[in-house]
Amino acid sequence: AGQKARRRLQSETMLRFSAVVLLACLGGSAAAVPLSPPTPPGGSVRALAADPAHPATVLLGTAHATLFRSTDAGSDWQFWSRIGDHDDWVVAALVADRTTPGHWFAALWSWSRPDGGVFASNDDGRSGQPLWLGHAVRALAEAPSDPRILVAATLDGVFRSQDSGREWARISPAQDRELRNVESVAVDPRNPQEIYVGTWHLPWKTINGGHD
C-alpha cells in the first residue's frame, strides 16, 4: 500500500510539474488560461461553416453524419439533423449558398465503404436531399464569383457542377495515378476557371476549368 501511495504521489507531482511547464511555455498562469465552452457530443468535428447572411449562425458536421447548429457564434449548440441514413458517413464540408438564404450543401464520404456524395438542404440544414452520390467527397467549394459553380474533391478525382449541383462532370483525367485522393479544393475569387486542389502528396492547379 505504501508503494502504491508513493507511485500515485509521484504521478500527481509529475502531472502538476507538466502543467506548470506547459503554462510557462505559453507565457501564462493557471488563472490566465481561458476555459472554452463545451462542444456538442456526437462525433469528432469535421466541418464548420457560418451563414454569410447571418454570421452568428454556424453549422457543424461530425464524423457520424450529424449536424449541430449554433445561432450565437458557437456559445451554445443544439443537435440539428442527421444527413442521410448511414452512420458511417463523414461530413467533410459544409457550404452555404450565398445566393439563396437557407440553402446549404454538404459533402460526405464513408469510412467503411468507397461511397459518399453531395447533399443539399433548403431549410438551413434541418433536412437534406442527395444531389450526387457514388463518390467519396473529401472537400467542396463554391466559386465566389459564380455561385452556380461547385467543385468537389473526391478520392477518385475532381468533379465540377455548373448548375448548383444538379449535374456533375469530371474535370480530372479518369484513372489518373496522381490526381486522386484529393483532400482539399479552392476556387480563385475572381476567376471560377482557376481551381486549386490538394492530394495526399501534391498540390495541383488549373486555369481553364480542368482542360489542362
> What HEC string does the chain produce?
CHHHHHHHHHHHHHHHHHHHHHHHHHCCCHHHCCCCCCCCCCCCEEEEEEECCEEEEEEEEECCCEEEEECCCCCCCEEEEECCCCCCEEEEEEEECCCCCCCEEEEEEECCCCCEEEEEECCCCCCCEEEEECCCEEEEEECCCCCCCEEEEECCEEEEECCCCCCCEECCCCCCCCCCCEEEEEECCCCCCCEEEEECCCEEEECCCCCC
- Taking CA atoms, 52 is separated from 91, 98, 137, in Å, by 20, 7, 23
Q: Cell 467549394 identifies what position?
A: 141
Mean of per-residue pLDDT scores for the chain: 83
pLDDT bucket at 37, cuts 50 / 70 / 90? low
121-150, pLDDT tens digit by residue? 999 999 999 999 999 999 999 999 999 999
Residues 92 and 105 sit within 8 Å (Cβ to Cβ): no
| Residue 10: other Cβ atoms inside 10 A | 10
| Better-predicted residue by pLDDT, 13 or 167 | 167
Averaged pLDDT, 52-77: 92
Q: Looking at the predicted structure, is the pLDDT value of residue 80 above 80?
A: yes
What is the C-alpha separation between 164 and 145, in angstroms, rounded? Answer: 13
Q: Looking at the predicted structure, is the pLDDT value of residue 22 above 80?
A: no
Per-residue pLDDT at 113: 85
Q: Looking at the predicted structure, is the pLDDT value of residue 55 above 70?
A: yes
pLDDT bucket at 11, cuts 50 / 70 / 90? very low
